Chains A and B, each alone.
Chain A
């Protein structure tokens, strides 16, 4: 049993990891073909996993409706939304679900007039949340926080026309902050992240890191 729960997954991780690693360095067409084959397996895996996800979501909400848990009305909305969208997708503007995706009809209507505006609304809520977060948390508690606060204010004002009204040096200072210290920090974090990614990948390939299998 341990073979299926430990050795085999580790061997698979090692094999696929190595193929992925060497695919970066071996341009040969036969290796390329092998790599493309593996990539298409991954895509296939995802298609099945999506069914799993949908099942998980729908089961959770049916249980809520059964138990009449607080807020179960939302679960009803979810089911209704799922059924309507699924039906529209299957109907496919009269072409049936075997034909290619139609670019008109009910599904597209849902996409254009429900999905897109809802997404846009959520995106614009960000402006309000930024204001609230800035008010509540941006405090000069320490010297470092104070410096951060000062730079934030300079950049915020320096990038709009009012900055020029206050002083012609303000926009220049704002640009400097963005181009020099900000870019330097970004690069530093990026290098660390890149190195971390490589090291973690190697740990997984060599089987040193195996917590993702559900245990040490």
Chain B
């Protein structure tokens, strides 16, 4: 009985959320009293123009929808392309936040362009009218028109607020008796006046689309002087809580995360010996430190150019900690050069902690982990100078490098230092390989932390990563076969938006 009830509640929740998701995505007409199609009269100033050219026939069946998967500043308009469409014709799209206007042009495009086929994430790949119906995304995220100063921005906000208040008042008095309504007349008139004044300073009228506000759009065909009557429609743009275009990406991320958590959990329960391939570059770390100690020369650790938000930097800081531990055993002079001040602070902490862990806090000096320059070539020149003057016996390069890579490593090689590098910047790999004794390529850099520490949890995550790689290889092979055979559903599944 209990189980049944749980199931019912669950189904109810699922059904409710599905309904909510539907409501969130549906156009304005579904949740407001306004009709879905609202033909608007031709703009008055066009009518008084003389001599009046023969008007074009208007478009038919204009539809507006809130754009799926957006922040709430985008709507999509669509309509079937008229049969008499010509290349020199244009569509003009105008918008307003009040049914009465003023209307403001928000987009225009040449006829014969902008079809539903251009928006596959909305209309799919197979709809019959992809090539015969126009569709345009109107994205007016703030700020599309540059606000000249702060004052305008605050006026804009004020204007928006007043419009909301006005709407609320009008809605609440809708059902009142005429006499009662009159009581509010002055207040409403005042509000309208204020809005009008603000509208001149910082117009709200469709300069941008604010989420959850009413907007009206109309489409006019034009060809030279000729115009068509305007056809209009209303819609409320809404923000979405999930970008369904990235569902594939999300699923892959979840699978990888799941694999990592699974393997880490399993290793914790029964820590088995996970095999890890030998990485010669990391094996050589010990020798490089030993050699420097024997020669009585310093060891250099040269950070790459990327900042702390780059994974290669995080990986190199991890390696730095492990190398420092080894260095502490020998008590050799150890210097760390930094290009980024945040990396500097993290590196100082890492080195200090590593010395402390090995019981040698006396070895740490703040000046051994230092900042050189934030500029690429100034950094390269600075480090090169130090290599030439201090003649280190061993140099480690870990992180992301650009053109300075060869400048650094070639100087190190010239001074006869043992050089070990690790980078994921593949344009610089050839230079590292030719000038360094050992090079960790690409993902080996990220695996280094696990390799040096032999921490079962880290090794377990490597296993998950390899499994994921296997999956990707399978996907590539199957995808290539299917695509070659002309079956493209898999391509669409993997498509990124």
Contacts and interface: CB of A to CB of B under 8 A. Distances in A.
Interface stretch (B118-126, B343-351, B483-491): B343-351
A199 B446 contact: yes
Interface residues of A, number: 67
Given A28-B71, A29-B72, A119 B377 contact: yes
Interface stretch (B52-60, B216-224, B285-293, B452-460): B452-460
A200 B315 contact: yes
A133 B413 contact: yes
Q: Which of B261, B374, B465 has the most CB of A within 10 A?
A: B465
B349 A214 contact: yes
Contact of A29 (B239, B242, B375): B239
Interface stretch (B2-10, B249-257, B276-284): B249-257
Contacts of A122: 377, 380-381, 404, 407
B302 interface: no
B443 A133 contact: no
Contacts, number: 207
B314 A202 contact: no
Nearest to B339: A53
A204 B318 CA distance: 11
Contacts of A1: none
Contact of A49 (B322, B345, B458): B345
A134 B458 contact: no
Nearest to B447: A196
A193 B427 CA distance: 13
B424 A203 contact: no
Contact of B465 (A63, A133, A196, A213): A196
A129 interface: yes
A206 interface: yes
A186 B426 contact: yes
Nearest to A191: B472
Interface in A43-83: 45-46, 49-54, 56-57, 59-60, 63, 70-71, 74
Given A25-B250, A123-B403, A196 B458 contact: no
B344 A52 contact: yes
A36 to B, nearest CB: 11
Interface string B237-254: 001111100100110010
Contacts of A112: none
B461 A26 contact: no
B211 interface: yes
A193 B374 contact: no
Contact of B464 (A130, A189, A191, A199): A199
B449 A209 contact: yes
Contacts of B331: none
Contacts of B442: 189, 192-193, 196
DSSP majority for the B interface? helix
B370 interface: yes
B367 A133 contact: no
Nearest to B351: A214
B103 interface: no
Q: Which of A24, A46, A130, A192 has the most CB of B within 10 A?
A: A192
Contacts of A21: 253
B92 interface: no
Nearest to A215: B353
B130 interface: no
Contacts of B257: 202, 206
A38 to B, nearest CB: 12
B140 interface: no
B434 A212 contact: no
Given A53-B341, A193-B426, A30 B239 contact: yes
Nearest to A129: B410
Nearest to B450: A209
B458 to A, nearest CB: 6
Contacts of B462: 199
Interface of A: 21, 24-32, 42, 45-46, 49-54, 56-57, 59-60, 63, 70-71, 74, 115, 118-119, 122-123, 125-126, 129-130, 132-134, 136-138, 186, 189-193, 195-204, 206, 208-209, 211-216
Given A129-B410, A193-B426, 7 more contacts: A29-B72, A119-B376, A119-B378, A186-B426, A198-B256, A200-B311, A203-B260
- Listed from nearest, the 6 A-B pairs whose CB atoms lie closest are A53-B341, A214-B353, A196-B443, A49-B341, A211-B318, A53-B371
12 contacts: A24-B249, A30-B239, A49-B345, A54-B341, A56-B341, A133-B410, A193-B442, A195-B469, A199-B465, A211-B317, A212-B346, A214-B321
